[in-house]
Copies of this chain bind each other. A is one copy, B any other.
Amino acid sequence: MPRPVYFDCDTGIDDSMALAYLLASPEVELVGIGSVHGNVSAAQGAGNTLALLQLAGRGDVPVAVGCGDPLVGEFAGGAPHVHGSNGIGEIEVELDEAARMPVAEDAADMLLRLSNEHPGELEIIAVGPLTNLAVALQRDPSLPERIVRVTAMGGAALVPGNITCVAEANIGHDPEAAQAVVSAAWPVTLVPLDTTLENVLEEADREKLCASRHPLTRAVGEMLDFYFDFYVAEYGRRCSALHDPLAAALAVGGMRPRVAPAVPVEVDVTDGPGRGQTVCDLRGQRQGPVDRPGANVRVVLATEGQLAPHMVERLLSFETVSPGVHAAV
């Protein structure tokens, strides 16, 4: 039986890759998807998600629009320089208008409903700012009792941030929400830049995706063209980090953590230079990873092997694993 997953995203090029990976993964079933402000507006994120689901022939997966603004402050316009003005690298997806409606409930309500429909079974994979999760916690503080695990792409433990010196985008775009999520009584697996920047997709990988017969895999390959340009400044060549897909692959079990201690984590919600930082207590880890008693957040600092080969393999195997896909190809 596939494990039920609620996916929370700000779709986004790497969100798209994570979504394609999850749709191609027989281990999990996407029972609902919520959008959130971040790389794009929450509305754009939902629209992009619906478009990608249509390409996969998976119009059955419900999509809810989530929070358009962080708990404090307002959506600041996203990251068009990273993800393109439409969030998916300027590629155009022709949509069947009838298929593109989000559900009526908002993302936080969808998450709460799903948690009640799958108590003790539902897993959360969150690859955008954590606003929807925080709002769900506000509306029903008992939510953690029904959730197996939260896997969140976000933060920077021992590497620089990507929107400030120390803040990574998902956490930095809503530090208050992130602090609510890491301090709630559920197990959190945090997948920070420390490891996502070390898992890299190369041009040869991208070309394989572009050569796929599957329209979603091909679309992911095509939108990565834009993303690869952005990462030249970081890596000195056209390639990309695998932020959101790594969180998805770790949650699914397709990738395993190599160094991932459970340690106290606090998100900096001050207005100082540390705002948005995931302050992880990684002292005393020189002789090897040590779990700290009572810590509910596991911080993935390194993975076993590289994600790219597994990711490419899974996205190319799409047709054989997802029964809903064949109609769309």
Interface string of A153-189 (1 = CB under 8 A from B): 0000011111001100000000000000000000000
Let me know if B274 and A234 touch, CB within 8 A: no
Q: How far is the CB of A194 from chain B (nearest CB, A)?
A: 10
Q: Is A279 interfacial (CB 8 A cutoff)?
A: yes
Contacts A270-B274, A273-B274, A274-B274 hold; do A280 and B158 have CB atoms under 8 A apart?
no
Contact A233 B160 (CB under 8 A): no
Q: Size class of A's contact patch?
A: 20 to 34
Residues of B within 8 A of A162 (CB): 283
Contact for A158 among B159, B279, B281, CB less than 8 A: B159
B270 close to A272 (CB less than 8 A): yes
A282 to B, closest residue via Cβ: B160
The answer to whether B283 touches A279 (Cβ under 8 A) is no
Shortest CB–CB separation between residue A37 and chain B, in angstroms?
23
A250-B165 Cα distance, complex, nearest whole Å: 26
A268-B279 in contact (CB<8A): no
* Inter-subunit contact A280/B159 (CB<8 Å): no
B283 touches A273 (CB 8 A): no
Contacting B at CB under 8 A, from A252-268, are 264, 266, 268
**Complex Cα–Cα for A160 and B286 (A):** 10
**A287 lies within 8 A of chain B by Cβ:** yes
How long is the Cα–Cα vector from A279 to B287 in the complex, in angstroms? Answer: 26
Among candidates B161, B235, B287, residue contacting A286 with C-beta atoms closer than 8 Å: B235
Point out which of A159, A277, A280 has the most chain B C-beta atoms below 10 A from its C-beta: A277
Is A295 located at the chain interface by the 8 A CB criterion? no
Residue A236 at the B interface, CB < 8 A?
Answer: yes
Q: Which chain B residues border A158 with CB–CB below 8 Å?
A: 158-160
Q: A28 within 8 Å of B by Cβ?
A: no
Interface presence of A304 (CB below 8 A): no
Provide the residues of chain B in CB contact with A286, threshold 8 Å: 197, 234-236
Does A96 belong to the interface (CB within 8 Å)?
no
Q: Name which of A160, A269, A287 has the most chain B CB atoms within 10 A of its CB.
A: A160
User: Judging by beta carbons under 8 Å apart, are B284 and A233 in contact?
Assistant: yes
CA–CA, A277 to B268, complex, Å?
Answer: 12
The CA of A233 and the CA of B161, in the complex, are separated in Å by: 29
Determine how close the nearest CB of chain B comes to the CB of A252; give it in whole angstroms: 28
A285 partner residues in chain B, CB cutoff 8 A? 160
CA distance A287 to B158 in the complex (A): 17
> 3 closest A-B pairs (Cβ-Cβ)?
A274-B274, A270-B272, A270-B270
